[in-house]
């Protein structure tokens, strides 16, 4: 999860897409929401669990500012391991402006 967060900070779309499971991978990522500059402020891992040998979840909170407005992304991400590599599958998340 930390490497995915860092990839968002440095806008490394190819890295993010490579670690995204092909069944859910988007064609393109909008790393600057409609042209607004995103400034990432921090990542807090709340928990991580395995669900068998090849499945895991990570719950985290990421804080950022988009166009000068504070936001908080609270997400539970699902990962799957295939051929020895972990891939981001999908997530349930909430994003709000409470900073």
Asked whether 94 and 87 are in contact (CB, 8 A), the reply is no
Query: Sorting pLDDT into bands at 50, 70 and 90, what band is 90?
Result: very high
Q: Which residues of 62-74 are buried (b: 16+ CB within 10 A; e: fewer)?
A: bebbbeeeebbbe
Domains of the chain, start order: 2-96 (3.10.450.50)
How much is the pTM? 0.86
Average pLDDT across the chain, whole number? 91
φ and ψ at residue 88, rounded to 5 degrees:
-70, 130
Query: Sorting pLDDT into bands at 50, 70 and 90, what band is 52?
Result: very high
pLDDT of the residue at 97: 67
pLDDT of the residue at 43: 98
pLDDT of the residue at 99: 52
């Amino acid at each position: 999860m930390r490497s995915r967060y860092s990839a968002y900070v440095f806008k490394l779309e190819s890295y993010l897409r490579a670690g995204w499971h092909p069944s859910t991978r988007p064609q393109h990522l909008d790393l600057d929401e409609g042209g607004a500059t995103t400034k990432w402020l921090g990542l807090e891992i709340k928990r991580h669990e395995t669900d068998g040998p090849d499945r895991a979840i990570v719950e985290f909170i990421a804080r950022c500012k988009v166009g000068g407005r504070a936001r908080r992304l609270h997400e539970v991400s699902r990962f799957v391991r295939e051929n020895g590599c972990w891939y981001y599958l999908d997530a349930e998340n909430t994003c709000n402006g409470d900073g």
